[in-house]
Chains A and B, each alone.
Chain A
């Protein structure tokens, strides 16, 4: 199913950063709009392909956003929320989200012109290395292999 997709690359350029790089076969303004118009974000944000239950975007510096996923089978609903810091259509979008330690993580999206398409460079800068590792770890626990969480807990038990 993913054959022919552009590759998604992930790297850790520093102790505080996570970088994700991906190109798209669409102009920058189109990709930028897909990130900033609620009716568009709602269509693609959930990795499991379910439309978001709610998507609210106040697109201005200091404005809030809230992406609310549909409920899981246990009744919980994952929410991604924060506030915008910089909005420069179609080249740059910066937002802040709460960090595990109580500080803020800064997400910086650069939309670069790439042969008529768009190269997206997304950098998440965390307040500390512990925050960054916690963020990555959280994804492992919440992601497609939830069972790994149970195993990790089991392995961490004193024997």
Chain B
């Protein structure tokens, strides 16, 4: 049994939120590539690509290949397929929903005081 409240798994989703990083992953899905090979199609500088790669590596989506000279990167697809990752998305769905519910409960004192008999519910509140 696993429990997540605020976990490293959200790193993966943060990493995937950026279109350039998704494009990098898509390119790596076709085979390993080094920084200059990755930079070319995007028209981005190598330091910019390196920065994106760092985020992807931090999220466990990209690993370094064996060739020490070229330092190619390879795709690690497994995190994308983990049930745990799916659960994290599901949790976030409910987190958003329950944040709404918090706000609803806080802005509707009439319903909130219904269980407490001492306070009269306020009437005529604009919705």
Contact = CB atoms under 8 A, between A and B. Distances in A.
Interface string A96-129: 0000000000000000000000000010000000
24 contacts: A2-B99, A8-B5, A9-B3, A11-B1, A11-B3, A11-B87, A12-B2, A18-B87, A18-B90, A22-B94, A24-B105, A27-B112, A28-B115, A30-B105, A30-B111, A33-B111, A40-B104, A40-B111, A133-B83, A136-B86, A137-B86, A140-B89, A140-B90, A151-B80
Interface footprint category on A:
35 or more
Contacts of A53: none
Given A10-B88, A10-B94, A147-B22, A5 B2 contact: no
Contact of B115 (A29, A136, A148, A152): A29
A75 interface: no
Interface string A13-43: 1000010101011111111011000001001
A3 to B, nearest CB: 11
B37 interface: no
Interface footprint category on B:
35 or more
A24 B108 CA distance: 14
Given A2-B95, A10-B90, A30-B115, 12 more contacts: A1-B99, A9-B5, A18-B90, A22-B98, A28-B115, A40-B111, A133-B86, A135-B90, A140-B90, A143-B92, A144-B92, A151-B25
Q: For the complex, would chain B's binding face be called helix, strand, loop or mixed by DSSP majority? A: helix
Nearest to A7: B5
B68 interface: no
Contacts, number: 140
B122 interface: no
A154 B98 CA distance: 33
A44 B115 contact: no
Nearest to A22: B98
Contacts of A152: 80-81
Contacts of B80: 148, 151-152, 155
A72 interface: no
Interface of A: 1-2, 5-13, 18, 20, 22, 24-31, 33-34, 40, 43-49, 122, 133, 135-137, 139-140, 143-145, 147-148, 151-152, 154-155, 159
A26 to B, nearest CB: 5
B26 A151 contact: yes
Nearest 8 Cβ contacts at the A-B interface? A10-B91, A136-B86, A47-B96, A27-B115, A44-B100, A8-B95, A44-B104, A7-B5
Nearest to B30: A159
